[in-house]
Structure 1
Amino acid sequence: MEESAYSDVLNLRRRQRRCRPGTLIALLGLVLLALWAGLLTLLLLWHWNTERDLKQLGDTTALNISQVSKHLERHKGDQMAQKSQASQVLQTMEEIQAEQKRMKTQDSELSQDLDGLREALSNLKSQGLNERRAALTSLERLQEEVSKLWMELRVSNARDPRVTPGEMLPPTVPPVPTVMSTTAPTTAPAPAPALAPATAPAPAPALASATAPAMVLSSTPGSMCDMCPERWVSFQRKCYYFGEGAKKWIQARFACSKLQGRLVSIHSQEEQDFLAKHVNKKGSWIGLRDLNIEGEFVWMDGSPLEYSNWRPGEPNNGGQGEDCVMMLGSGQWNDAFCSSPLGGWVCDRLATC
């Protein structure tokens, strides 16, 4: 029994040995087949995925190409529009340049015409000013000579023993009319003062400047303004000019007229005190005189004598011809000969705003 069992085992082992290579080969074949099947499945899956990706890529590419084409067409359209606008701008620039050249030519012609007109106007103005200046100078000299003759006639009549005080005097020389000029300078001489005839005495009118015919001076403050020209002194809304230089009374009168003022008229103690502080210590002419009627003193503003500051014993008409009044260095008044030169004279005018 033991031998039969041993022989069975050996037979079985032999059979196993005989069957093992075939089984291995079969198993190996099955494994290879499975590998090939898996590989083929992967290849198929990769192929399908690749085709799908390629299709999507193709669609995307086609869409992008379409959009790029549209953008290119739009860009070409914009370039054409820009070229058209550029050509229009260039044309407009050329037109502007042509217009500028034409305007420069016109400006040059106008400038030449204006230069010619200015030169002609300057020549005419210079000629007119020279003629006016000569005429005004001659007229001023004539007025001064007439005034001197009139004053000398008054003085000679006052000294004539045949003429008693208050007697009618011979007719005086009439005033010379003044031609007003719209372009007269501020230093132009004033119109001649109105000379009252001896047969009808009247207060002397106020002098007016040729450049300010509407200005009327007054002894009473007429405005709240207190502005004065250069070298004039302001006091109680009036301006005062203290002139220096040897002048006769008539010369001082014309000097004040040239300054657009007149010989000062004094109407209060305050004004007198102010003037006494600034007056020339050697004596100054003021605007008081009795040339028309002896003893009847009248101010340059036409008002009668209401306030006075005479030196004791004055006025005395010493020498039968003291018809003009001066202010002494002390501030007191004295009648003197109008032809006597004094080193000072005082003008006044209203202050302005």
Structure 2
Amino acid sequence: MSSENPGYWEPPPKRCCCARRGPQLVLVGLLSTAMWAGMLTLLLLWHWETEKNLKQLGDTAIQNVSHVSKDLQRYQSNQLAQKSQDSELSQNLNRLQENFINVKSQNSEFSQSLNSLQEDLINIRSQGLNEKRTASDSLEKLQEEVAKLWMEMLISKGVACSTCPENWLNFQQKCYYFGKGSKQWIQARFTCSDLEGRLVSIHSQEEQDFLMRHTNKQDSWIGLRDLDVEGEFVWMDGSPVGYSNWNPGEPNNAGQGEDCVMMRGSGQWNDAYCRSYLDAWVCEQLATCEEASAPVASVSPTGPTPKNGS
């Protein structure tokens, strides 16, 4: 309150700060401007760098796409080439299969032709062997008939025809060998052939009785068989069965393989398995005459052969 005007209050005078705030505002404005300019600069730099990176990425992507495109083109080209090769290989395989089928067919035809030729050859050889055996059998029979006729003529002239090799026994112008030892029928047959004889053929009861007296009641192989035709028994001299002495119920071909004939110890005959072993067999051959110049026959593996003396 003033001393001059005691009832009146006067507010204190305000201080003036405008002079000090002006420079501050300018400074703040400058700082704000500088800050915004810096931020703008940073944004521009970031934008520029980003665009640069994006451009690089784009260029890289373009290059990668180009490489991938080229790789894809190469892959597709390789695929086409592979398909072409596969197609060519498939065609080659088909041709090979066709060639294989043709070769197989030709081989089959060749094999059939070869088998046919082999069968023809076997048939020709078999026919030739049969014809040769037939001719040999016929020649053997003829030679033996000639020898028997010659022997009968000599006997009618009083010539003795009873000479036999050592260890052979004579009976009725024939010589007999009684073999010992375990043999099959075919082995006995070849043994008789080696001795210039053959397995015995029996044509009379007298001959049967003679054999029985010397076999010592042993089972013995004789020269009877039906090897060619089942049931058609033929003697080794080629003659059919006239006289016989079969055991009751024989021949019976038991087991479908009894094609050779044995004489039992009792003297009766029995068809037997040709590969069975017997301990005895009987061989025969024609006896020779005393006259040295008389041609007689001895039975060899190929048949009786006339010869002078013995």
- Smaller-chain TM-score range? 0.3 to 0.5
TM-score of the pair, normalised by structure 1: 0.40
Q: Which has the higher contact order (CA 8 A, sep 6+)?
A: 2
Give the strand-richer structure, 1 or 2.
2
